[in-house]
Amino acid sequence: YAKEQGRNQYQFYTSALSAKAPERLSLEKRLRQALEKKEFSLHYQPRVDVATGQITGMEALLRWHSPDMGAVSPGIFIPVAEESGLILPIGEWVLRTACIQNKAWQVAGLPAICVAVNLSPLQFRQPQLVETVARILQETGLEPRYLELEITETTAIQDIEFTRTVLQKLDRMGVRLAIDDFGTGHSSLSRLQLLPLHNLKIDRSFIRDLTNDKKVSHIVTAIVTLGQSLGLSIIAEGVEKEEELEFLKSINCESVQGFLFYRPLPVEGATEILANATEKNEIALREERD
Ligand code: C2E
Ligand code: MG
Ligand code: MG
Ligand code: MG
């Protein structure tokens, strides 16, 4: 069933990308109205500290429920949004919604965590990006250190000088910065070292092969070691198996994000998990005291 679904999605995706295909036009047309019709939502996937098991952050992931197509995967609609420029208003909505949500969690007394938001290449190159981020932080009252912005390695290295200029401005503002999908862009850490980064996210494809390909486990070990020596905190993406976690622990990888711990959750689920995390912390503190 999954395979069947995957194949259909792939066909959709291919046609979605060829400029004038009718499917693409209708998808784009639907996407154009989706914001107004409130068809988007955000799911949140917790990021977990390997040593303590604590939740240190949540990544906001965009979800689209179209009334006539049902749930459309980001892998399908994000490229269309990117090509049509619709990603700019959509991306701004994501940023604002994630900041509002994180502020609401804090106001409700839940543990202060960082929310990570993905920036597309077009968003990253938009001249008003820095102003937009500053304005949204001001409007929502979220402290900058509780917002993390993710750009992919491919976006980062396309024009490294430009990237550096933009990231420096964001860094001065106090937001956290991360490289997403690291390992897929064929760059080197020595180039990224010029950038004011906090986190490095190792792409899921490496984690998938971690425990069955010796070479991959060596590469991941090298990324973790070198990344940490450059002052970066490392997050492994897509951890699904206990063995993967054990290996990552053994090489002192700080954080993981993956189905083994949590799937991306709707707001209510994410809130519940944060609330439980508070309880657990309080119980631990109480036990320490007694
Ligand atoms: P990403 O930023 O690398 O996000 C991680 C993706 O991996 C998410 O897929 C997440 O659901 C999935 N994932 C997490 N853990 C596991 C695991 O253990 N196993 C497996 N198989 N998958 C896991 P999702 O939500 O479908 O998003 C796919 C991509 O779409 C994202 O990759 C990101 O590039 C893009 N995207 C999602 N939301 C946004 C957004 O708000 N703005 C932009 N520009 N791009 C977004
Ligand atoms: Mg991401
Ligand atoms: Mg990623
Ligand atoms: Mg990705």
DSSP code of 258? S
Percentage of the chain lying above the pLDDT 90 cut = 82
How does pLDDT run across 108-148, given as a tens digit for each residue? 999 999 999 999 999 999 999 999 999 999 999 999 999 99
In sequence order, the 6+-apart residues with CB closer than 8 A to the CB of 284 are: none
The beta strands (E) that lie in 110-232 are given as 114-118, 147-152, 176-182, 199-202
Whose Cα sits closest to atom 33 in ligand 1?
Answer: 118
CA of 107 to the centre of ligand 3 (A): 29
From the CA of 57, the nearest ligand is: 2
Q: pLDDT at position 189, please? A: 86
Kindly give the distance from the C-alpha atom of residue 289 to the centroid of ligand 4, in angstroms, as a whole number: 43
Residue environment code for 203-217, b if the CB has 16+ CB neighbours within 10 A, otherwise e = bbebbbbbeeeeebb
Residue nearest to atom 37 of ligand 1 (CA): 61
Residue 16 has pLDDT above 80, yes or no: no
Best of 118, 150, 182 for a ligand 1 pocket test (most atoms within 8 Å of beta carbon): 118
Burial (CB < 10 A; 0-12, 13-18, 19+), residue 87, is buried
Closest listed ligand to the CA of 61: 1
The ligand 1 atom nearest the CA atom of 61: 38
Overall average pLDDT of the 75-88 stretch: 97
Mean pLDDT of the chain: 91
Residues with CB under 6 A from ligand 1: 45, 61-62, 73-75, 78, 91, 94, 118-120, 180-181, 204, 237-240, 257-259, 264
Read off the pTM.
0.91
Residue type, 97: T
Cα separation, 151 vs 154, in Å, equals 8
Cα 120 to Cα 149: distance, rounded to the nearest angstrom: 10
260 neighbors 47 (Cβ within 8 angstroms): no
Report pLDDT for 12.
47
Nearest to 66 by CA among 30, 102, 90, 32: 30
Residue 5 CA: distances (Å) to CA of 9, 74, 96, 188, 238: 6, 15, 32, 36, 21
Q: Probe ligand 1: pick from 40, 61, 202, max atoms within 8 Å of CB?
A: 61
Tens-place pLDDT, residues 233-267: 999 999 999 999 999 999 999 999 999 999 999 99
**For residue 201, which atom of ligand 1 is closest to its CA?**
3
| Distance from the alpha carbon of residue 61 to the mean position of ligand 1, in angstroms | 6
